[in-house]
Amino acid sequence: MKKETFILVHSAWLGAWQWESVKTILESNGHTVIAPDLPGHGQDNTPSTEIAMHDYVLTITQILDTIDEPAILVGHSFNGITVSRAAEVRPKKVKSIVYLTAFLLPNGGSFFNAVQGVKGSMAVDNFYLSEDHAYALVKEEAMHEAFAHDIPKEAFEAAKPNIVKEPVAPLTYELQVTEGSWGKIPKYYIECLQDNAIPIEVQRAMYDGKVEEVFSLNTSHTPNFSQPKALANILMGL
């Protein structure tokens, strides 16, 4: 099996810590894994009001600039948008893009536009902005069922202190990608069949006709917690 370099990009509200189990499995099989904290997430304390999509993308492109061989770029949930843009500006550094129940949007698409009219999403139904519109949250009482209903409540509660406020500015960003750059990079999608945040029909509408192959996991929005081995096996099989 060829040893790959994986760059694992976390979802909104979380951080690099979400990848710990998957990272351990990939590394134990000889792969190189880089899982950064995006600005304002995990160990990065950049204030929400100072963060734009450019800052997320810069975090990824700076990593890509340090590697010799093209990497497999994995984006979870909202940060499918981030990895799309990073791949657009560093296409020669990206071997393929994996969208893990992620926003795979066309040129000009944005998170806010993509969720308009979405039905059956506990995340969308319980989404709200702070009074100053600096950051976004999902109502605390809905988070477990929305994102991780297939892990024990106790485990979710233990992880909850690591959940951060999501900066609003990147959520408004309108994706800029081209067929000549991002469009030429092989793309794969991992759909999550029990996802209460991005319903399966929404996932399928986003990836339809745009990817080389689709893989299915019978999980919530966060298989990195509930089925890390199955997720890692998909990544290693690409």
Structure confidence at residue 2 as a pLDDT band (50, 70, 90): confident
Full residue range of the structural domain in which residue 118 is found: 5-236
pLDDT of residue 34: 98
pLDDT at 164 over 90: yes
> Domain tally for the chain?
1
pLDDT, tens digit, 9 for 90 and up, residues 184-234: 999 999 999 999 999 999 999 999 999 999 999 999 999 999 999 999 999
* Contact present, 85 and 216 (Cβ < 8 Å): no
pLDDT of residue 90: 98
Question: What CATH number did the domain enclosing 137 receive?
Answer: 3.40.50.1820
**Cα maximum dimension of the chain:** 51
Per-residue pLDDT, averaged over 144-160, amounts to 96
- What pTM does this model have? 0.97
pLDDT, tens digit, 9 for 90 and up, residues 70-129: 999 999 999 999 999 999 999 999 999 999 999 999 999 999 999 998 999 999 999 999
